[in-house]
């Protein structure tokens, strides 16, 4: 039995908020390929903190949904940046028939230093995030963006 088969049997709703956030953090862990830091499973969701190579980040996850726009909560301003992770059902990769939070091709990421976010803001919608910071990074570009932030 594969891990995916086990998850389908044990907890078929991978889109549930806790598992969605864990999937987002897993995508970050995979992108970093185990380099330099140890990334633990999230203790809180949909907003948690991540320390990687001495760089403290807030990590927020959300799912794009046709019914309502995705909104991300913002983390503590004492951290260096926020990593926004969006599971987008509009981005179904070839060979995948449905939305799957374990598929890295279905995620978009925005790495935004806190000084670029309004200090009074508690949350940000995905459309405002896209207007200010573009269409986001694909999974393959995430590690390079994190490395660049660490070495700034």
pLDDT reported for residue 50:
85
Q: Which residues of the chain have a pLDDT value below 70?
A: 1, 3-4, 7-8, 10-12, 34-38, 66, 89, 91-97
Q: Is residue 7 part of a domain?
A: no
Tell me, rounded to whole angstroms, the distance of Cα 8 from its chain centroid. 22
Number of domains in the chain: 1
**3-state DSSP assignment of residue 105:** helix
Residue 95 lies in a domain: yes
Whole-Å CA distances, 136 to 10, 22, 44: 32, 20, 24
Look up the CATH number of the domain holding residue 95. 3.40.1350
Rg (CA), the chain: 15
**Burial of residue 106, with CB atoms counted within 10 A of its CB: 0-12 exposed, 13-18 middle, 19 or more buried:** buried
Domain contains 107: yes
Residue 8 lies in a domain: no
pLDDT value at residue 94: 59
Q: Residue 3 falls within a domain, yes or no? A: no
**Which structure tokens are listed for 105?**
């091709």
């Amino acid at each position: 039995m594969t891990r995916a088969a086990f998850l389908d049997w044990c907890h078929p709703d991978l889109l549930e908020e806790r598992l969605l956030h864990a999937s987002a953090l897993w995508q970050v862990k995979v992108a970093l390929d185990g380099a330099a830091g140890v990334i633990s499973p999230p203790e809180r969701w949909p907003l948690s903190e991540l320390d990687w190579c001495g760089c403290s980040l807030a990590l927020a996850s959300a799912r794009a949904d046709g019914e309502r726009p995705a909104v991300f909560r913002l983390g503590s301003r004492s951290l260096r940046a926020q990593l926004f992770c969006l599971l987008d059902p509009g981005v179904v990769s070839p060979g995948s028939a449905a939305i799957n939070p374990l598929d890295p091709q279905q995620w978009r990421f925005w790495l935004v230093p806190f000084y670029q976010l309004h200090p009074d803001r508690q949350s940000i919608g995905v459309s405002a995030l896209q207007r200010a910071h573009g269409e986001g990074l694909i999974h393959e570009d995430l590690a390079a963006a994190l490395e660049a932030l660490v070495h700034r």
